[in-house]
Amino acid sequence: MNRTDEVLGTTIQSAHSALVVVDVQQKLLPHMHDAEKVERRVIQAVEVAGHLNLPIFVTEQYVKGLGPTVSKVKEALARFDAYTPIEKMSFSCFHEPAFVAALESKEIDTLLLCGIESHICVLQTALSALDNEFDVYLIGEAAGSRSKAHKKEALQRLRQEGAVVGSVEMFAFEILQTATHPAFKAVQKVIL
């Protein structure tokens, strides 16, 4: 079956899934459309993934020029011992050997993506993931671009290529599957 004909066949499973926080950096975030909302949703995604014990990977594009991950996101990551950024120069995270090695070490096959910019680094990472037979779930509300139109175009392209686009709450409850899940109350507090 051609990859563009596929989508995630079932709900997201916690085994073999990981959150990837792409380039939410000091000199980039302030220029994003709805920057505060994107930052808030990225933090929610980190907290949900942390409570669900999902691996979390963080990338930073050209740190010397764009600065590190913004403080509030970095603090959320640190609460789950997940602030170990992988610096990159390529737009796709998959062109960074350390990123690929990190995924392989955890046997990841589903990526939950968030970050900036939707139409550049997030898009190219998602396309590379799809090309490499990963399932891709883009947390649309936790992704941003300078232009609202660019984000819309990126989301449309990713849907066409076979990625699933959803929200923090959707991925949280798909993984939880039941109110009896041990992390339910902690996740519920993050969402509500």
Tens digit of each residue's pLDDT (9 = 90 or more) over 65-117: 999 999 999 999 999 999 999 999 999 999 999 999 999 999 999 999 999 99
Q: What is the pLDDT averaged over residues 177-187?
A: 94
How high is the pLDDT of residue 12? 75
Helix (H/G/I), strand (E/B), else coil: 74: helix
User: pLDDT confidence of 6, banded at 50, 70, 90?
Assistant: very low
Is residue 60 a contact partner of residue 96, using CB atoms and an 8 Å limit?
no
Tens digit of each residue's pLDDT (9 = 90 or more) over 114-131: 999 999 999 999 999 999
Is residue 78 a contact partner of residue 84, using CB atoms and an 8 Å limit?
no
pLDDT of residue 2 exceeding 50: no
Which residue from 167, 169, 142 is spatially nearest to 32, judged by alpha carbons?
Answer: 142
Q: Given this structure, which CATH class describes domain 14-191? A: alpha beta
Residues annotated as part of the active site: 23, 88, 121
pLDDT of residue 184 exceeding 90: yes
- 42 vs 115: CA distance, rounded Å: 7
The answer, as to whether pTM is greater than 0.85, is: yes
User: pLDDT confidence of 10, banded at 50, 70, 90?
Assistant: low
Q: Give 3-state DSSP helix, strand, coil % of the chain, rounded to 5.
A: 50, 20, 30
Domain boundaries, the chain: 14-191
